[in-house]
Amino acid sequence: MEKRLFEYFKDSFRLGAAVGGILYDYEGAVKKHEKFLEFIKTHPKPEGIPDFKIPPLPKGPFIESDILAKHFNLVVAENDTKMCNVFPSPNEYDFSSADKFIEMAKKNGQAVRWHTLVWHNQSPKWIFEDENGNKASKELLENRLKDYIFAIGKRYAKDVCSVDVVNECISDKNFVLRDGNDHSKWFEIMGPEYVDKAFIWAKQAFPNSSLVINDYNLETMPPKREGMYNLVKGMLERGVPVDTVGLQMHINLENPPVSEIEKTIELFGSLGLKVIVTEMDVSVYKDFQPGKESEPRKEYTPEILNVQAERYRKIFDCFKKEADKGILQDVVLWGITDRFSWKNDFPVPGRTDAPLLFDVNGNPKPAFYEICK
């Protein structure tokens, strides 16, 4: 019998994938898709966000379901466990899609990550307002957040191995906590202590789960990495129960060097923290590099895919080394096949990408075979 991908890493770390709702709750995914289409018709696009098309939802059966069940032993929901979907209106929880996600994981024998409790994006607008539509008081927002965390923990703590308690809280502008001028209503109303309080409540609600602070570009932007280091170091000194740093790791064929990935993992490990890779993909483009224009769509030639394969192998070799040191715990890919990657149409509308281990038809790519060596 062919070996399952996660079995190659069973002595090092769990191997996970992010899962879209169409694989476990198609009816719910259709409703959310229709609701989103209505939303974008009536709301202006935020400044700085490129134009992009919202494609229709494809119909199954989905080869991704078979790949997920066979090759991954850890899963995370792409969207259905975010606050906007679970807590859409005051005093109304909607656990329908999250429940189906958990059921799928149990059927497949997979561990579960919860993404995410607190994020400045995809939080419902009402949670920051009082009953009159004015800005919520600090006390009101604190009570709502605490009740929310405990409600999620009461229902799912027994099923969840790790929780992204706070997501993307470090600013790209000054590399400290995002404030109200940098899109964080949590900071604006509750102050910087919202992070500490979220972790304290999460520890009570999820006593047996890893508690993660998760962010992007920590391995590519040294000032942001230092900002996160200073934040978690201070949290530990204050006795806040953070135990894991999540590195999203949306990277490309060149950046960052593997040495920077290793340096980042070991920096947080030096504080006694664990590290997990939470959203990995390896784009075949080099966007977001200083002084470089966005690249036009390219053909995914054997040469490019072989370069990507070598890149994946070197990074996974680093992961295994850091896991052997007891620092790295999990590696999660943000998607299953290139067909549904979030990198399609972003950041360049109309341009597809090929950042994952399986192609659009569900076939293993050279990177799949390379990391198994």
pLDDT tens-digit series, residues 281-298: 999 998 765 556 678 888
User: Over 50: is that where the pLDDT of 1 sits?
Assistant: no
Digit-coded pLDDT (tens) for 341-365: 999 988 888 889 999 999 999 999 9
DSSP character string of 220-247: T-HHHHHHHHHHHHHHHHTT----EEEE
pLDDT at position 71 = 98
Band (45; pLDDT cuts 50, 70, 90)? low
User: Over 50: is that where the pLDDT of 212 sits?
Assistant: yes
Report which of 206, 200, 97 is spatially closest to residue 151, judged by C-alpha positions. 206
Helix axes 302-324, 258-269, angle to 10 degrees: 20
In 235-346 the beta strands, taken as DSSP E runs, fall at 244-247, 250-252, 274-283, 328-333
User: 38 an active-site residue?
Assistant: no
Are 369 and 359 in contact by the 8 Å Cβ rule? The answer is no
Higher pLDDT, 330 or 61: 330
φ, ψ for residue 76 (rounded to 5)? -140, 140
Could you give the CA distance from residue 41 to residue 63 in angstroms, rounded to a whole number?
A: 32
User: 322 an active-site residue?
Assistant: no
Residues 311-338: what's their mean pLDDT? 98
Q: Which CATH architecture has domain 5-371?
A: Alpha-Beta Barrel (3.20)
pLDDT at position 295 = 84
Report which of 94, 221, 75 is spatially closest to residue 148, judged by C-alpha positions. 94
The CA angle 88-94-100, to the nearest 5 degrees, is 135
Q: Which of 64, 78, 279, 370 is catalytic?
A: 279
Residues 13-17: what's their mean pLDDT? 98
Amino acid found at 133: G
User: Over 80: is that where the pLDDT of 133 sits?
Assistant: yes
User: Over 80: is that where the pLDDT of 250 sits?
Assistant: yes
pLDDT at position 36 = 78
Q: Which of 168, 188, 322, 370 is catalytic?
A: 168
CA 84 to each of CA 99, 121, 260: distance values in angstroms, whole numbers, following the listed order? 15, 9, 34
Could you give the CA distance from residue 19 to residue 335 in angstroms, rounded to a whole number?
A: 6
Q: What is the value of pTM for the model shown?
A: 0.94
Provide the residue ranges of all domains of the chain, joining segments of one domain with +.
5-371
Neighbours of 296 (CB within 10 A): 9
